[in-house]
């Protein structure tokens, strides 16, 4: 991975690394990809992916309201609100 790919990765994840952190990440990534070669020692071509370790698929419960929070409750932890809305910078000029 080069610094340009890392720059795109940072942007995608809304993060900004310092130069020192970038060096550390690239070294970490290099080590992980090197070590990952061990995975290729196992032939998995005919092995099915296992997403769930337990046989549970698409669990849906009855669609009913079981608890209701007020707008005030839901906004208690908000960094900024205005007139009952979450406040963010202007998105459209």
Partner 1 sequence: MELYISKNEKAKGKTVALDDMILTNEYPTTAGSKMLEGYMSLFNAEVVDRLKNAGYEIGGKANVGELCIDLLGETSYFGATENADGALMTASSELVKKGDALAAIGLDANGTPRRAAALNGQVCVKPTYGTVSRFGTISIACSGETVSVTANTVSAVKEILDVIAGHDDKDGTSLSEEKCALVKSSAEFSSAKKVAVARSITDSADEATKAVIAKAKAAFEAKGIAVEEVDDSVLLTAKNAWNILMSAELCNNVSRYDGVKYGYRTKNYTTIDELYTNSRTEAFGDLLKTAILFGSETLSTENYMKMYDKGLRIRRVLVEKFAEIFETYDAVLMPASTKTVYTKADTDANKYIAYDENLYTAPASITGLPVVVAGGVQLIGKAFSENVLFDLAKTLEGDGK
**Helices and strands per DSSP (H, E), number in the chain:** 3, 2
Instruction: Give the C-alpha separation, 23 to 9, whole Å.
Output: 14
User: What is the pattern of x (binds partner 1, CB under 8 A) and - over residues 37-76?
Assistant: -xxxxx-x--xxxxxxxx-x--x-x-----x-x---xxxx
Backbone phi and psi for residue 48, each to the nearest 5 degrees, phi listed first? -75, 145
Nearer to partner 1, 38 or 65 (CB): 38
Instruction: Give the C-alpha separation, 4 to 2, whole Å.
Output: 6
Q: Applying CB under 8 A, does 7 fall inside the site for partner 1? A: no
Backbone phi and psi for residue 85, each to the nearest 5 degrees, phi listed first? -120, 155
User: Least distance (Å) from partner 1 to the CB of residue 2?
Assistant: 12
Which residues of the shown chain bind partner 1 in the complex (CB under 8 A)? 1, 6, 9-10, 12-17, 21, 24-25, 28-29, 31-32, 35-36, 38-42, 44, 47-54, 56, 59, 61, 67, 69, 73-80, 86, 88-89, 91
């Amino acid at each position: 991975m080069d610094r340009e790919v890392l720059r795109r990765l940072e942007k995608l994840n809304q993060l900004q690394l310092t130069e020192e952190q970038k060096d550390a990440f690239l070294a970490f990534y290099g080590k992980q990809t090197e070590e990952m070669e061990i995975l290729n020692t196992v032939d998995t071509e005919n092995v099915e992916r296992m997403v769930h370790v337990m046989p549970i698929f698409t669990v849906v419960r009855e669609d009913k309201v079981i608890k209701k929070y007020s707008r005030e409750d839901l906004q208690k932890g908000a960094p900024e609100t205005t007139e009952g809305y979450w406040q963010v910078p202007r998105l459209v000029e």
